[in-house]
Structure 1
């Protein structure tokens, strides 16, 4: 006689998964493959998700670390995280056919950085060292004109005079952590210039808010996303800070069933680079072990769409 499956109420965060910038970047690679045929080269992972990268690779995308790995006669796509100015300059110097899939919200930060430097300001950039978006943003301005700030503690160590300072932020940060760093910067440097609008992107903010909305009703939370995805890591942190044990997984096969245990309720969300089919895969895996009831907790509907490059839609 089959053992009855224990009941489990699954709260599915919304919004979750793909944001407009990720969707646009993936479409750029797909359309480039249609337009130019395989192979199409991509500098770095187009987005931080192994499943997405592997699927595009199966269609004919070739992922490389540096531009010198791209043949002269093939197109190359720059990732959604943005690249230093030196990269498109080098591509143009070789007459490469290149397509820039940088998220428009990241490009907005790049333009802000250029304007602030033109005003004669030094920029304090809130972000994570080594992240591709940080590398790309630092590459928009002259060396030495921007300083990285990662934590509130870093603010106390800054040896800069007040006056002619400004701050910008990486788009995929923790909303709460960033607010604390900004507060510390403004206390230390009262005349520091703030950006006109929030640099943390709408998708990052919305996904963190959606986790906060369901966390009080969850005993555990699964976050679907890559370990190198900043926005996915932040989602797990948000849940944990609210007292909800959370695990970051790439897909259903990564679920640690001993860790899951037999909770009465469990939350599921996905980072901005994780496709919805991976969410469905996790829900199906849960349904195979539990008598699942699903609830989509729609926190804030999204309808953002970014335009594709003209050369791919003409």
Structure 2
């Protein structure tokens, strides 16, 4: 029996899908419609269980190793981007390739390539093992060093410091990245920063919305999968601001105990989480007593990215 005292739900604005995620999912769906199943996808197209299962049901096959893809098959690179080695292997194997890398990640890759040709080494702020980090660091065979925290900045040993540039995973905590960048600039004062930061507009906007929302609610629910970097950052941010926060992959993960004595519930979703899950969570919260659902005022996102040639 669920007992809780939820009265109202406040929806963060913006929340949920960003332009890069919309585009990546559409690329897989259009490839399936045009070429038929199966379409192979290297890595989860975006880090969301619901989205991946939905595409599996339509005929997408998710793989990590290109050896698992038959010759001549249609292959999609995930939104997180891939290393040069993966790109070259896919071409050598003769797949029909569609690249769903988010254009904002591609922008980082292009910058790395351009500055490398000018003799730069790189410090990359990011999380070890995340596919976006592996893809960006894999643009070069050497000369790119990962820093995950301020302590790493003190330890890192680039071969030279005259030409040193910093790049960032697009889905980090804006505040954490700023703190690490400050440490980098203190140790390497001549480091080259991006003119426009690498953390993407959608990550920034969703974090800004949580900063406004968290102080107004008793508990925050973040819809997102455990593997989703930007969703995890939203939960951490709320907790840092002193608001209890929980991340759910599906409405079934909600626990009524979270809402005991909590009248105002905040709700947001990571950039890879579909709105259908948000709506299902709202229904569960209504079953716990919520009578009103309010949308926060917030930034309206209008960014759209074009599809690759051959799928338009």
TM-score by length of 2: 0.97
Shift of 1:156: 1.4
Quote the residue 1:179 is aligned against.
Answer: 178
Shift of 1:164: 1.2
Distance 1:291 1:206 in 2: 26
Secondary structure of the residue aligned to 2:294 is strand
- Asked if structure 1 preserves the Cα contact closer than 8 Å seen for 2:145 and 2:156, the reply is no
Quote the residue 2:95 is aligned against.
Answer: 96
Aligned partner of 1:149 among 147, 150, 163: 147
- Asked if structure 1 preserves the Cα contact closer than 8 Å seen for 2:82 and 2:131, the reply is yes
Could you say if the C-alpha distance between residues 5 and 128 of structure 1 is closer, same or farther in structure 2, counting changes exceeding 3 Å?
closer
Aligned length: 310
Q: CA RMSD in A?
A: 1.4
Distance 1:189 1:126 in 2: 14
Quote the residue 1:44 is aligned against.
Answer: 43
Distance 1:112 1:43 in 2: 23
- 1:108-161 deviation line (CA, Å, top 9, x unaligned): 000111111111111000000000000000111122x10000101111122345
**Displacement over 6 Å in runs of 4+:** none
Could you say if the C-alpha distance between residues 126 and 289 of structure 1 is closer, same or farther in structure 2, counting changes exceeding 3 Å?
same
Quote the residue 2:86 is aligned against.
Answer: 87
- Asked if structure 2 preserves the Cα contact closer than 8 Å seen for 1:213 and 1:299, the reply is no
- Asked if structure 2 preserves the Cα contact closer than 8 Å seen for 1:5 and 1:291, the reply is no
Shift of 1:262: 3.1
Unaligned 5+ residue runs, structure 2?
none
Quote the residue 2:308 is aligned against.
Answer: 309
Quote the residue 1:159 is aligned against.
Answer: 157
Distance 1:73 1:114 in 2: 29
Unaligned 5+ residue runs, structure 1?
none
- 1:249-288 deviation line (CA, Å, top 9, x unaligned): 1011001211222311110000000000000000000001
Quote the residue 2:205 is aligned against.
Answer: 206
Distance 2:189 2:6 in 1: 54
User: 2:187 aligned with 1:192, yes or no?
Assistant: no
1:1-314 to 2 correspondence within 5 Å?
Answer: 6-143=5-142, 145-160=143-158, 162-313=161-312
Could you say if the C-alpha distance between residues 162 and 93 of structure 1 is closer, same or farther in structure 2, counting changes exceeding 3 Å?
closer
Out of 113-122 and 4-13, give the one that drifted further: 4-13
Distance 1:12 1:38 in 2: 37
- 1:48-103 deviation line (CA, Å, top 9, x unaligned): 00000000000001111111111113201110000011222112112210111000
Secondary structure of the residue aligned to 1:267 is strand
- Asked if structure 2 preserves the Cα contact closer than 8 Å seen for 1:163 and 1:189, the reply is no
Out of 286-295 and 15-24, give the one that drifted further: 286-295
- Asked if structure 2 preserves the Cα contact closer than 8 Å seen for 1:25 and 1:46, the reply is yes
Distance 2:91 2:63 in 1: 18
Distance 2:180 2:102 in 1: 24
Could you say if the C-alpha distance between residues 5 and 94 of structure 1 is closer, same or farther in structure 2, counting changes exceeding 3 Å?
closer
